[in-house]
């Protein structure tokens, strides 16, 4: 029997039918493999929990109301799954109890710490619901608290994995559990600091959790189950006529996700590539399909692949006295970007100016601009899109520019990237 890792995201467990379908997939696979299952919070629960955090932190009196509505949503799912009895209700309400207590108290800690303590309940509850449903179906399954085995530093909201500690904990626990059970169900996205507090790995981080398990357990493969047939030539929510790519190289996958393809978290690929573990991105509504296989040395000619990152800002920084932008300026600018954790998506310099495209986070950007404006003239363009075309051809690039003003564009090897704005529609009176 081999060990496989499966990851189910929020879309796959968004309602009772979704959870039921996941149980069906696990049932179909667990007779021949041991399956470590990583699950995300249901549907948009993490967004809803963020509202609880904000309300509590701002003390606007609505935290309880937001939390109650999240609890109700989970009760409906359990009712739909026919697992809502006294014992399971008590298990779920025990899981919420720490938040109940926290939001009763005054705010005493930093935002990011509070965020991780509250938001992590989403994955704890969804994994318990899936566990109870699988158990009801007679599967040989156990529930694992990922905080016992996935150890991180205390950088709340973007915790760094402590790989040695994590490996050691997994070695101690997982084999033993697989001695008794066919399926382990655990949580994505969350971990535990060495001081025993909840941490999170960054939004959409459950894919990365699955990569971490695959690496530490030397899994035979990782399957990430999605609401799409596999990796497509563009996001089907934004483009028509997209096609599935059957095979992708690790390198291609890491580049695509780095450029902003929202289909898998960019950090997922490295641990898999390091141990040559195949990654399948597969549709949860057609569980026999292979989806896309990501592996090493794929010998194929890729079609043009489009990645869109919206909500970008372009910051133009120029010297006040017409001196050239030199290394000392760049190092000062990058130090500031690092301080505010603004990831540079694209950059360009001229003799006296330097421009960077970053995610448009108004609070961080205004702090950055304030700091830099002491020594530089600083301007900002809002509402930009970054368009990346990998393996481009001229026709695709021309299509991408229709109706757009291109603020800047760069081409390197098979890739074209451009920062664009919609052409304003001016109507004649």
Q: Judged by CB under 6 A, does residue 303 bind ligand ADP?
A: no
Q: In what order do the strands lie in the sheet with 141-143?
A: 141-143, 183-187, 33-39, 2-8, 221-226, 279-283, 292-295, 247-249
- Confirm if 415 and 388 have CB atoms less than 8 A apart: yes
Token pair recorded at residue 258? 């780095």
Question: Looking at 202-210, 225-233, 239-247, 369-377, which segment touches ligand ASP (CB under 6 A)?
Answer: 202-210
Contacts with 51 (C-beta within 8 Å, 6 or more apart), sequence order:
62, 66
* Residue in the shown chain whose Cβ atom is closest to ligand ADP: 9
Residue 261 in the binding site for ligand ADP (CB under 6 A)? yes
Q: How far apart are CA 423 and CA 198, in angstroms?
A: 46
Instruction: Return the ∠ at Cα 241 (arms to 236 and 244), rounded to 5°.
Output: 70
Q: Work out whether 186 is an interface residue with ligand ASP (CB under 6 A).
A: no
Token pair of 321 as six digits: 């006295």
- By the rule CB under 6 A, 263 interacts with ligand ADP: yes
Cα–Cα distance for residue pair 367/371, rounded to 1 Å:
6
Mark the segment that binds ligand ASP (CB under 6 A) among 201-209, 323-331, 354-362, 385-393.
201-209
Could you report how far apart the first and last alpha carbons of the chain are, in Å? Answer: 73
Alpha helices in 250-393 (DSSP H): 250-258, 269-274, 327-339, 362-372
Those residues whose C-beta lies under 8 Å from the C-beta of residue 85, and which sit 6 or more positions away, are none
Pick from 9, 211, 229, 304 the residue near Mg ion by CB under 5 A. Answer: 9
CB of 1 to ligand ASP, least distance (A): 28
Q: How far is the CB of 55 from ligand ADP (least distance, A)?
A: 24
Query: Cβ of residue 184: shortest distance to Mg ion, in angstroms?
Result: 21
Q: How far is the CB of 188 from ligand ADP (least distance, A)?
A: 9
Q: Phi/psi at 216 (nearest 5 deg)?
A: -70, -30
**Closest separation between CB of residue 44 and Mg ion, Å?**
11
Q: How many CB atoms lie within 10 A of CB 428?
A: 3
Number of residues that bind ligand ASP (CB under 6 A): 12
255 makes contact with Mg ion (CB under 5 A): no
Distance, in Å, from the CA atom of 151 to the CA atom of 162, rounded to the nearest integer, reads 6
Nearest to 250 by CA among 292, 209, 294: 294
Contact predicate 411/356, CB 8 Å: no
Q: Nearer Cβ to ligand ADP, position 4 or 329?
A: 4
Within 121-150, which residues bind Mg ion (CB under 5 A)?
Answer: none
Among ligand ASP, ligand ADP, Mg ion, none, residue 263 binds (CB under 5-8 Å by kind): ligand ADP
> Least CB distance from residue 47 to ligand ASP, whole Å?
7
Contact window for ligand ADP (CB under 6 A) among 60-68, 83-91, 147-155, 230-238 = 230-238
Is the CB of 41 or the CB of 418 nearer to Mg ion?
Answer: 41
Of 73, 125, 76, give the one whose Cα is nearest residue 99. 125
Classify each residue of 268-286 as buried b or exposed e, where b means 16 or more C-beta atoms within 10 Å of its C-beta: bbebbbeeebbbbbbbbee
Exactly one of 116, 123, 182, 204 binds Mg ion (CB under 5 A); which one?
Answer: 204
Nearest of 352, 357, 354 to residue 342 by alpha carbon: 357
Residue 282 contacts ligand ADP per CB under 6 A:
no
Question: Which of 135, 226, 267, 329 lies at the binding interface for ligand ADP (CB under 6 A)?
Answer: 226
> Which CB sits closer to ligand ASP, 181 or 208?
208
Residue 9 is a binding residue for ligand ASP (CB under 6 A)? yes
Interface characters, 30-49, with ligand ASP (x: CB under 6 A): ----------xx----x---
Pick out residues in 203-262 that bind ligand ASP (CB under 6 A).
203-206
Pairing of strands 33-39, 2-8: parallel
Asked if residue 262 binds ligand ADP (CB under 6 A), the reply is yes
Structure tokens at 406: 């291109």
- Per CB under 6 A, 191 contacts ligand ASP: no
Please identify which residue in 10, 191, 266, 291 interacts with ligand ADP, judged by CB under 6 A: 10
Interface with ligand ASP in residues 116-175 (CB under 6 A): 122
Number of H helices, E strands in the chain: 13, 17
Cα R_g (the chain), whole angstroms = 23
Applying CB under 6 A, the residues found at the interface with ligand ASP are 9-10, 40-41, 46, 122, 188-189, 203-206
Applying CB under 6 A, the residues found at the interface with ligand ADP are 9-12, 40, 204, 226-228, 231-232, 234-237, 261-263
């Amino acid at each position: 029997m081999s060990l496989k890792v499966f990851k189910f995201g929020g879309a796959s467990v968004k309602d009772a039918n979704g959870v039921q379908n996941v149980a069906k997939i696990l049932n179909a696979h667990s007779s021949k493999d041991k399956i470590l299952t990583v699950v995300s919070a249901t549907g948009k629960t993490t967004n809803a929990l963020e509202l609880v955090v904000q309300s509590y932190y701002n003390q606007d009196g609505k935290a309880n109301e937001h939390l109650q509505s999240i609890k109700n949503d989970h009760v409906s799912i359990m009712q739909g799954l026919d697992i809502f009895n006294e014992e399971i209700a008590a298990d779920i309400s025990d899981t919420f109890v720490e938040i109940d207590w926290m939001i009763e108290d005054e705010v005493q800690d930093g935002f990011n710490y509070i965020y991780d303590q509250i938001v992590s309940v989403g994955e704890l509850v969804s994994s318990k619901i899936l566990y109870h449903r699988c158990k009801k179906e007679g599967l040989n399954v156990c529930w694992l608290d990922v905080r016992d085995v996935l150890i991180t530093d205390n950088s709340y909201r973007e915790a760094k994995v402590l790989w040695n500690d994590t490996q050691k904990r997994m070695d101690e626990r997982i084999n033993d559990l697989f001695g008794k059970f066919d399926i382990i169900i655990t949580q994505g996205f969350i971990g535990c600091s060495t001081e025993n507090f909840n941490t999170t790995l960054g939004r959409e981080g459950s894919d990365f959790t699955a990569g971490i398990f695959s690496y530490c357990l030397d899994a035979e493969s990782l399957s990430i189950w999605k609401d799409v047939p596999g990796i497509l030539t563009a996001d089907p929510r934004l483009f028509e006529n997209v096609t599935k790519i059957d095979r992708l190289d690790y390198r291609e996958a890491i580049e695509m996700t780095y450029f902003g393809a929202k289909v898998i978290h960019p950090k997922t690929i490295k641990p898999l590539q390091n141990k040559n573990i195949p990654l399948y991105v597969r549709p949860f509504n057609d569980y026999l399909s292979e989806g896309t296989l990501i592996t090493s040395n794929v010998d194929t000619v890729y079609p043009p692949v489009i990645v869109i990152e919206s909500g970008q800002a372009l910051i133009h920084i120029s010297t006040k006295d017409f001196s050239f932008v030199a290394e000392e300026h760049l190092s000062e600018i990058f130090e500031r970007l690092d301080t505010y954790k603004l990831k540079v998506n694209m950059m360009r310099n001229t003799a006296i100016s330097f421009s960077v495209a970053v995610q448009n986070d108004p609070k961080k950007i205004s702090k950055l601009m304030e700091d830099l404006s002491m020594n530089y003239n600083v301007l900002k363009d809002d509402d930009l899109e970054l368009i990346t075309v990998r393996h481009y051809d001229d026709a695709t690039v021309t299509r991408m520019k229709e109706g757009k003003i291109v603020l800047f564009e760069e081409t390197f090897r098979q890739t074209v990237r451009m920062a664009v704005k919609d052409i304003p529609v001016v109507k004649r009176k």
